[in-house]
Amino acid sequence: MRDFSVDHRWLSINTATVRAQWPLDRIVIECARRGIRAISPWRDQVAAVGLDKVAALLRDTGIELSGYCRGGMFPASTDAGLQAALDDNRRAVDEAKTLNAPCLVLVVGALPGALAGRAEHKNLALARTQVADGIAATLAYARSVGMPLAIEPLHPMYAADRACINTLEQALDLCDALDPARSGALGVEGNERAALGVAVDLYHVWWDPKLKAQIERAGRARLLAFHVCDWLTPTRELLNDRGMMGDGVIDIARVRGWVEAAGYAGYSEVEIFSAQDWWQRDGGEVLDTCVARHRCAV
Amino acid sequence: MRDFSVDHRWLSINTATVRAQWPLDRIVIECARRGIRAISPWRDQVAAVGLDKVAALLRDTGIELSGYCRGGMFPASTDAGLQAALDDNRRAVDEAKTLNAPCLVLVVGALPGALAGRAEHKNLALARTQVADGIAATLAYARSVGMPLAIEPLHPMYAADRACINTLEQALDLCDALDPARSGALGVEGNERAALGVAVDLYHVWWDPKLKAQIERAGRARLLAFHVCDWLTPTRELLNDRGMMGDGVIDIARVRGWVEAAGYAGYSEVEIFSAQDWWQRDGGEVLDTCVARHRCAV
């Protein structure tokens, strides 16, 4: 297992972690100042600054991506809605390519309308079928441009409104169905990452009794991203009360050990949504804390 | 599938649903007035009125139990704590017996101290081992007095502080390990309920992609209780924002169909924790709504 205590070579910052404080161009500069070598930005943050400007800024600072957030949201209750989702995912793949991301992270979506509090139906099985179809269609395009897709299983508390892929097992079943050969996205020899894999975010999967077994099953080819934060007790609300690593109950180092034993050797990406705590603090304090905790609590 | 639209013969009220409005003796009387034939009371509510008084009231009104809430909370970080939990579960079995409950529901517990916001460790695997040991010990006593134990898998959002059994598959794996023969609790011929089974609460399991398969696996012998409410979008907080059947996104009738196809023929128990809505309303309105929704949304 890699020793993270000596430096933060493998720290990445998901830019949602300081989205309340700074626009993306400032985030990149603040990360560069601290020797943080990777980020994972969100599409709306990129759009607010401008795709080409962000790409240039990344080149200038030498900062690379650990992932691009996000594609997905495939289910819809009309054909036009389904097609719009596919078109949007194609654009997300293109943006990921422009930014030289190692993968496009997919938050797959769930019951149409539920995120706005007005679910259009209750058929979760239908939503899951639409997700499979949407990923299959997006995968065909993503392969053609060499962009791996990382399905992020979301915590079951988001099954209604954000993602109906809720366990690592379920995500890997889908990977095996759509990409049985674990073929490389780039179609070149020696590329070890599959075209379709998973983003393992501890906040979503830490509770799962089958977590270790499914990480082993995923292996190096399917493990495209690793996200960390912590689960607080109590958790005051469902979306934006994530904890800084070390402040909650997740045995992060144990799971990182499993992931690395399975062959993962990439970034440990910090992604904290925290309306009542970290989003209220100075952005520099947040980044400095991420660096410190990466060294002692990951 | 049974037709619930014509009467509410198979409605049971988990008494937490109106715990904010009334003490248990009043709840029993209000249920009897409405032709509700079963309840599932909580231990603290029983203790507040008195066990013998509650038993007499149930006899007088002809109301039976669909379950008794609750045993469990097995993990601890000291031997004395583990023993105290076993002693307490033995008392819970005795109370369930006195009230002629069909099963004692187990909310198994999780990381010691987490419910108070001060987790004593992060070893979820250890907690799960202690749960298995605690159920094994309690099962030996429960068998001796003929009281089935129903493991309630809780939603993964409670894995840290309330229950580290979080899927039906995990609960059934434990049932199979501790009671492989699916032997009847009463040790008499013709008793179809196993000594150890599960309480299927839709709020906790509705999201699970393996739900249908695991309900089939459970079968009549292991399906000891069936709880309903609804999942709201948005859900404003993790514990006390459950919805009335029909107000959320769970396809309740579909899952009831699966449960009944597997052989379950008991009560549909309404259990709603709702600090901001139903606990604020008149208790009579809540019960009348439960009756109405049982007929049209379950």
Residues of chain B with Cβ-Cβ distance to A159 below 8 Å are 206-207
d(CA A180, nearest CA chain B) in Å: 20
What count of other Cβ atoms lies within 10 Å of the Cβ of residue B140?
11
By CB atoms closer than 10 A (0-12, 13-18, 19+), residue A161 is: buried
Residue of B nearest to A128 (CA): B209
d(CA A23, nearest CA chain B) in Å: 28
Q: Which portions of chain A are predicted below pLDDT 70? A: 185-191
- B207–A124 C-beta distance less than 8 A: yes
- B233–A237 C-beta distance less than 8 A: no
Which CA distances in Å does A117 have to A127, B100, B156? 16, 42, 22
Give the phi and the psi of residue B235 in degrees, each rounded to 5: -95, 120
What is the Cα–Cα distance from A74 to A165, expressed in whole angstroms? Answer: 12
Longest dimension (CA), chain A: 53
| Residue B223: strand, helix, or coil | strand
Give this prediction's pTM. 0.97
3-class secondary structure per residue, B45-65: HHHHHCHHHHHHHHHHHCCEE
What is the Cα–Cα distance from A30 to A52, expressed in whole angstroms? Answer: 19
Query: Is omega for the bond preceding B9 within 30 degrees of 0, making it cis?
Result: no
Give B165-182 pLDDT, tens digit per residue.
Answer: 999 999 999 999 999 998
- Chain A and chain B share a number of CB contacts under 8 A equal to 90
The pLDDT tens digits along chain B (298 residues) read: 999 999 999 999 999 999 999 999 999 999 999 999 999 999 999 999 999 999 999 999 999 999 999 999 999 999 999 999 999 999 999 999 999 999 999 999 999 999 999 999 999 999 999 999 999 999 999 999 999 999 999 999 999 999 999 999 999 999 999 999 987 766 544 557 899 999 999 999 999 999 999 999 999 999 999 999 999 999 999 999 999 999 999 999 999 999 999 999 999 999 999 999 999 999 999 999 999 999 999 9
Residues of chain A with Cβ-Cβ distance to B170 below 8 Å are 209
Q: What is the ipTM of this complex?
A: 0.97
- A249–B119 C-beta distance less than 8 A: yes
Give residue B192's pLDDT: 77
What is the Cα–Cα distance from B108 to B166, expressed in whole angstroms? Answer: 10
Which CA distances in Å does A226 have to A67, A197, A229, B41? 10, 12, 11, 44
Give residue A184's pLDDT: 73
What is the Cα–Cα distance from B194 to B182, expressed in whole angstroms? Answer: 5
Residue of A nearest to B249 (CA): A122
Task: Please report where in the chains the tokens 């066990």 appear, as a residue.
Answer: B51
What is the Cα–Cα distance from B183 to B201, expressed in whole angstroms? Answer: 23
d(CA A227, nearest CA chain B) in Å: 18
Residue of B nearest to A253 (CA): B122
What is the Cα–Cα distance from A126 to A131, expressed in whole angstroms? Answer: 9
Residue of A nearest to B173 (CA): A209
How is residue A223 annotated by DSSP?
A: E
Residues of chain A with Cβ-Cβ distance to B233 below 8 Å are 111, 114-115, 117, 119, 160-161
Mark out chain A residues that contact chain B at CB-CB < 8 A: 111, 114-115, 117, 119, 122-124, 128, 155-157, 159-161, 164, 166-167, 170, 206-209, 231, 233-238, 248-251
